[in-house]
Amino acid sequence: MEKKKFYITTPIYYPSDKLHIGHTYCTVATDVLARYHRLLGEDVMFLTGTDEHGQKIGDIAAAAGVTPQEFVDRIVEGPRGIKDLWKLMNISNDRFIRTTDGYHVQSVQRIFKRMHDNGDIYKGTYKGKYCKPCESFWTESQLVDGKCPDCGREVQDAEEEAYFFRLSKYAGKIRDLLENTDFLEPRSRVHEMVRNFIDPGLEDLCVSRTSFSWGVPVDFDPGHVVYVWVDALSNYITALGYENDRYDDYEKGWWPGVNIVGKEIVRFHSIIWPAMLMSLGEPVPKKCFGHGWLLLDGGKMSKSKGNVVDPYILAEQFGVDALRFFLMRTFPFGSDGNFSNELLIQTINTDLANDLGNLVSRTTAMVGKYFGGALPAGCGTWAEEVPFDKELKDLAGSLRDRYAAEMDCFAPHKALEEIFKVIQRANKYIDENTPWTLAKDMEQNGPRLAHVLYNLLEAARICGVLLVPFMPESMDKLFAQTGAGESARTWESAARWGGLSETAAVAKGENLFPRVDMGKALEELEAAVEAARQAESGVELEPQLTEKVDFDTFCKSDFRVVKVKSCEAVKKSEKLLKFILDDGTGTDRQILSGIHKWYEPEDLVGKTLVAIVNLPPRKMMGHESNGMLISAVHKEKGEEVLHLLMVDDAIPAGAKLC
Ligand code: MSP
């Protein structure tokens, strides 16, 4: 029988900047859903990609002195770029689309032409407000306090010849789609869309620009490029081969698919996108799910606010699976949530180290200790039913259906809640049965102990199967430790208590999730963030010396404030400058310093500097130097940079530094 097809997408990301934990949240969530559908046995196509056109990218590239193509190539394909991040996060996308891919460009041109030919795109004059960072046009009435309603930034007046899409024509159909179907979820987003955009009246949408060129050219009208949202939204079908020869999956039943998007782009996905598809005579998506934002200190993360959280650093410090799990466990998928490092560490310690990790390590350790790593045949059944055996079996045995119900309505956080009820019940079951007491008399209690341990392995296995979409690598380890073979890892086996072979080889392996020391981890994180910041700015600092000097030795160094009376380059030397300094003693002091590379002598006259004045005199190029001027040095992009230490001119010459 042919497998059911399931097509799911993330938004395609702007490669204007590094991706942060908010973007990672969106992609991990979609990956979890894709993996869930694979676990169900469906034929899954998971698409992600990058949205590379538009004025903003053109401007940033120009500022960086590279072509837009070079710029996006670096951010998408380069080291620690977008593709690298998804690889690190174990994202299982089947396809990656770049809107600069030739086949996509060709499809967009054809899509634009089809909508033009059927009368839904016409030429007019655009007058309005444009938000450059969001690449969105707004009418006066849509602005909030005169600013962009999405990001709150300034908008500009804009007027130019442009093509328009007859969005207004589709208002009735879109209202119907939103109000009378379950196309858009959560439902709260439906009310938002209807109230803010449909009720006030849908206006036609400007869909071409002439003021910049970094975009898909309108092939029948040179000078116009396609408005980025028409270009970007089309990716969901061009990646299947719609209007191109690169793929032929569009006709094969993948479309319509499920679009997972962040809340600020629900408007584009639930109004403009279905209207475009209606105009093309194609089916609208099965679902648009608008998830919430991860906030930091209550606000949205953005590079310009300097509050982005780097997923590379978190994944490297805590492990990819722990990070994936935290994102899905902590924040209800449809709502906003406040990110914090403390919350991440707490979640790892409570759920992963204490609850799940402990269950697996205690159980596998006991199978090793009391049964040499394999339980005896027959341990799966127990004649006299004990109430807590039944409770555990019933709860774990029925988990799969409760889990599926939550996953099917895009509530991975609730599916995890169900799993953790079973894990907690299993840990309680250990305390109820006190295996270590049973083990004191193996002859009498051995069979009962084996049954208890089998039940624990079974509960852990079932939870493991259902956790695969969230933490694929760690669950492979869990299966290896609990002895769950291929047939005990399937979706079917998760609803079957007793799926684990009674005599499976159990091996206590490495701790699945080590406990994290909060204080130490926070300090390490801070250092990692600082190192990344320096690496990004190209600044390298000398490592601090660990060798200590005693205080008395330090106090012997005599640092004084000095004023530059004159300064000149030393003849025949490229580096040396000769300073005559007022050091407060009434006698001029001469110091030579090799800093000509960074300073011109005339710029230093009159400056107030710091010198160490009790070094023994030294001859340099035939001139005596009595001391040394103090500077700060670091490296930037491999080059040494020096700054003379300059202090407030109000400090008199000769003042001692202590
Ligand atoms: N390029 C458009 C999407 C076009 S889809 C046809 C875009 N790109 S984006 O890079 O700015 O955002 C991509 C996704 O990341 C969006 O769904 C957005 O909501 C999500 N997130 C960005 N910051 C986020 C948080 N802080 N929290 C959660 N998701 C966030 O929009």
Q: Is the CB of 229 under 6 A from ligand 1?
A: no
Atom of ligand 1 at shortest range from CA of 261: 17
Give the global pTM: 0.82
Tell me, using a 6 A CB cutoff, whether residue 582 lines ligand 1. Answer: no
- Which residues in the chain land under pLDDT 70? 137, 302-307, 538-541, 543, 637-638
C-alpha dist (Å) from residue 640 to 537, 544, 570 = 14, 17, 22
- Asked if 317 contacts 528 with a C-beta cutoff of 8 angstroms, the reply is yes
CA of residue 74 to ligand 1 center, whole Å: 20
Q: Which atom of ligand 1 is nearest to the CA of 236?
A: 6
Q: What is the pLDDT of residue 280?
A: 98
Residues whose CB falls within 8 Å of the CB of residue 288, separated by 6 or more in sequence, listed in order: 183, 184, 185, 258, 259, 261, 266, 269, 270, 273
Residues 403-461 have pLDDT tens digits of 999 999 999 999 999 999 999 999 999 999 999 999 999 999 999 999 999 999 999 99
| pLDDT one-digit tens code per residue, 580-593 | 999 999 999 999 99
User: In the structure encoding, which two tokens stand for residue 552, read together?
Assistant: 């008395």
* 311 touches ligand 1 (CB under 6 Å): no
Atom number of ligand 1 nearest to Cα 296: 26
Shortest-distance Cα residue to atom 16 of ligand 1? 262
Q: What does the chain come to in residues? A: 658
In short, whether 239's Cβ falls inside 6 Å of ligand 1 is: no
Q: What is the torsional sign of CA 346, 351, 352, 358? A: positive
Angle at 381 between CA 377 and CA 385, to 5 degrees: 155
* Per-residue model confidence (pLDDT) at position 212: 83
Say what the pLDDT of residue 63 is.
85
Comparing CA positions, the residue from 226, 267, 241, 246 lying closest to residue 115 is 226
Ligand 1 close to Cβ of residue 293 (< 6 A): yes
Atom of ligand 1 nearest to the CA of 19: 10
Distance 263 CA to ligand 1 centre (A): 8
> For ligand 1, is residue 333 a contact (CB within 6 Å)?
no
- CA–CA separation, 244 and 216 (whole Å): 15
**CA 44: distance to chain centroid?**
23
Helix (H), strand (E) at residue 338: strand 337-339
**Ligand 1 atom nearest to CA at 262:** 19
Q: Which of 26, 189, 229, 230 to mutate to test the pocket of ligand 1 (most atoms within 8 A of CB)?
A: 26
Q: Please give the structure tokens belonging to residue 342.
A: 């403390």
Asked whether 613 lines ligand 1 (CB < 6 A), one says no
Q: Where are the beta strands (DSSP E) in 531-636?
A: 539-540, 559-569, 577-582, 588-593, 608-612, 618-620, 623-625, 628-629, 631-636
Between the CA of 258 and the centroid of ligand 1 the distance, in Å, is: 16
User: Is the beta carbon of 449 within 6 A of some atom in ligand 1?
Assistant: no
Q: Which atom of ligand 1 is nearest to the CA of 300?
A: 26
Give the closest residue (by CA) to ligand 1 atom 9.
13
Q: Which helix (H) or strand (E) holds 226?
A: strand 225-226
Range 215-245 burial, b when 16+ CB lie within 10 A, else e? bbbbeeeeebbbbbbbbbbbbbbbbbbbbbe
